[in-house]
Amino acid sequence: MLALEQYHLDNGLRVVLNEDHSAPLVAINLWYHVGSKNERPGRTGFAHLFEHMLFSGSQHVGNNEHFRYVQSVGGVLNGTTFFDRTNYFETLPSNYLALGLWLESDRMGFFLPALTQEKLDIQRDVVKEERRQRYDNVPYGTAFERLLNLSYSPDYSYHWPTIGSMEDLGAASLDDVRSFFSTWYRPDNCTLTIVGDFSSDEAKTLVDQYFGEIAPGGSFPPFDLERKPFGHEARETFASHVQLPRVYRLYHLPKMGEPDWIHADLLTTILAADKASRLDRALVHEQQIAQDVAMYVLPTESTGILMLQATAREGVQIEAIEAAVDEEIARVAIGGVTEDEMTRARNRAEIEFAHQLETFDARADLIGMMSTYFGDPTKVDRWLDPYRTATAENLAHVARKYLIPENRVTSLFIPET
| Amino acid, res. 63 | N
Element (H, E) at 18: strand 14-19
The angle subtended at Cα 28 by Cα 26 and Cα 29, nearest 5°, is: 145
Task: Name 191's bridge partners.
Answer: 14, 31
The burial of 24, by beta-carbon neighbours within 10 Å (0-12 exposed, 13-18 middle, 19 or more buried), is given as exposed
Please report whether residue 117 would count as binding other proteins according to CB under 8 A.
Answer: no
178: three-class secondary structure by DSSP: helix
Contact between 294 and other proteins per CB under 8 A: no
Which of the ranges 119-127, 216-224, 302-310, 392-400 carries the binding residues for other proteins, by CB under 8 A?
A: 119-127
Using CB under 8 A, which of the segments 10-18, 38-46, 276-284, 300-308 binds other proteins?
276-284
Buried-exposed string 98-128: b where 16+ CB fall within 10 A, e elsewhere: bbbbbbbbbbbbebeebbeeebbeebbeebb
Q: Which of 243, 317, 389, 391: binder of other proteins (CB under 8 A)? A: 243
Give yes or no for residue 242 binding other proteins (CB under 8 A): yes
Contacting range for other proteins; rule: CB under 8 A; set: 147-155, 221-229, 240-248, 300-308: 240-248
Instruction: Name the residue nearer to other proteins (CB basis): 116 or 133.
Output: 133
User: Could you tell me the CA-to-CA distances from 43 to 19, 146, 184 in Å, in that order?
Assistant: 41, 18, 16
Minimum CB distance to other proteins, residue 68 (Å): 5
Beta bridge partners of 79: 88
The region of 127-135, 251-259, 373-381, 385-393 touching other proteins under the rule CB under 8 A is 127-135
Window contacting other proteins (CB under 8 A); options: 153-161, 278-286, 302-310, 380-388: 278-286
Using CB under 8 A, which of 19, 60, 230, 254 touches other proteins? Answer: 60
**Binding string, residues 158-197; x marks residues near other proteins by CB under 8 A:** ---------------------------------------x
Considering only the stretches 70-78, 224-232, 258-266, 297-305, report the one whose residues sit in contact with other proteins under the rule CB under 8 A: 70-78
Taking CB under 8 A as the criterion, the residue among 6, 11, 102, 331 binding other proteins is 102
**Minimum Å distance from CB 76 to other proteins?**
5
DSSP secondary structure, 312-362, as one string = EPTT--HHHHHHHHHHHHHHHHHH---HHHHHHHHHHHHHHHHHHHHSHHH
User: How far apart are CB 128 and other proteins at their closest, in Å?
Assistant: 8
Cβ 110 to other proteins, closest distance in Å? 7
Q: Per CB under 8 A, does 265 bind other proteins?
A: no
Q: Considering CB under 8 A, how many residues would be counted as binding other proteins?
A: 80
- Cβ neighbours of residue 274 under 8 Å, at least 6 residues apart? 280
Cβ neighbours around 246 below 10 Å, total: 23
Should residue 121 be labelled a site residue for other proteins when binding is judged by CB under 8 A?
yes
CA pair distance 312, 293, nearest whole angstrom: 9
If the CB atoms of residues 244 and 305 are measured against other proteins, the closer one turns out to be 244
Contact positions with other proteins (CB under 8 A) in 313-352: 313-314, 340, 343-344, 347-348, 350-351
Q: Is the dihedral of CA 65, 68, 73, 78 positive or negative?
A: positive
In this structure, the strands spanning 190-196 and 14-19 are parallel
Nearer residue to other proteins within complex by CB, 208 or 233: 208
- Residue placing its CB nearer to other proteins in the complex, 152 or 181: 181
Q: Which is nearer to other proteins, 169 or 369 (CB)?
A: 169
What's the CA gap between 383 and 158, in Å, rounded? 25
Range in contact with other proteins (rule: CB under 8 A) among 154-162, 184-192, 308-316, 369-377: 308-316
| Selected range binding other proteins among 154-162, 282-290, 366-374, 385-393, rule: CB under 8 A | 282-290
* 179 versus 239: smaller Cβ distance to other proteins: 239
**208/223 Cα distance (integer angstroms):** 30
Among 354, 381, 389, 406, binds other proteins (CB under 8 A): 354
Q: Which of 86, 123, 157, 371 binds other proteins (CB under 8 A)?
A: 123
Could you give the CA distance from residue 203 to residue 275 in angstroms, rounded to a whole number?
A: 47
The single-letter code of the amino acid at 150 is L
